[in-house]
Amino acid sequence: MKERRQYKYPFIILQLILYISFLYLDITGGNILLSNYIKFTVVALCFLYVLLIRAKDNSKKTLLFLRLALFFTLISDMLILLLDLYFYGVLTFIIAQQMHGIRISLLGKRNHLFNELLRRFSYQILFTFAVCLFLWKLNVSINALLTVSIFYFICILSNTIRSLHLAANFRERGFIYLAAGLVLFLLCDINVGLFNMSDFLLVGPVYGKIYLISSVLMWTFYAPSQILIALSEDKM
């Protein structure tokens, strides 16, 4: 308990300073490159935090999958935020969501973990195919990036619903942090979709305002989502 507090409060204070810093830069139209590096630092600190904390006797597996999820999240943000490699960034985000999904199953004490993972993965592929088919019928151009983005969104939507169910059933602090973090993560991704909507759909003049608002809201939601997820191993 003392060890977690040793890292927890400096972690939260430092993250708050970074959060205010990049929000100020984004809202005022400041240095974009500096803002991006501050944002990446936020995610890197989340990964560092979960590496530093020790697992309790009954949470070694859940901490392992949390570390894996945040590791792939860090890789994703490096690819998307710093290198503009969106397709590969979404792929690693999918891996991160699969790690979150396994952790949620472990927290819910589910049996037959492999069978559940396989079944959930199959449903996610099936729903992705259905959504792509629906969009194709609407004459939306389906490419590799859109396909993996749809699959990713279905993964995070599934995890968010399951985490809310977990928090409602157990009402422990860590479960509430996880559910809140994934809800904010989902809100971030909705704004990412709005931000990139013009790449796939014809948009009207009002889209300019949506674009500006969503460009700020993405990280307004995303940074606290990762902080809450990093803190979700704390069930005390």
For 211-235, how does the pLDDT look when each residue is reduced to its tens digit (9 = 90+)?
789 989 999 999 999 999 999 987 6
pLDDT at 5 over 80: no
Name the average pLDDT for the chain.
Answer: 91
Q: What pLDDT digit, counting tens, does each position of 70-79 carry?
A: 999 999 999 9
Gap between the Cα atoms of 177 and 198, Å rounded = 33
Provide the pLDDT for residue 109.
80
High-pLDDT (> 70) share of the chain, %: 93
122-140: b or e for each residue (b if 16 or more CB lie within 10 Å)?
A: eebeebbeebbeebeeeee
pLDDT category, 236, cuts 50, 70, 90?
Answer: very low
pLDDT at 1 over 60: no
- The four Cα atoms 72, 75, 79, 82 give a dihedral, to 10 degrees, of 140
- The four Cα atoms 230, 233, 234, 235 give a dihedral, to 10 degrees, of 140
User: What's the fold here for domain 2-231?
Assistant: Rhopdopsin 7-helix transmembrane proteins (1.20.1070)
Report the residue count for the chain. Answer: 236
User: Sign (positive/negative) of CA torsion 164, 169, 171, 175?
Assistant: negative
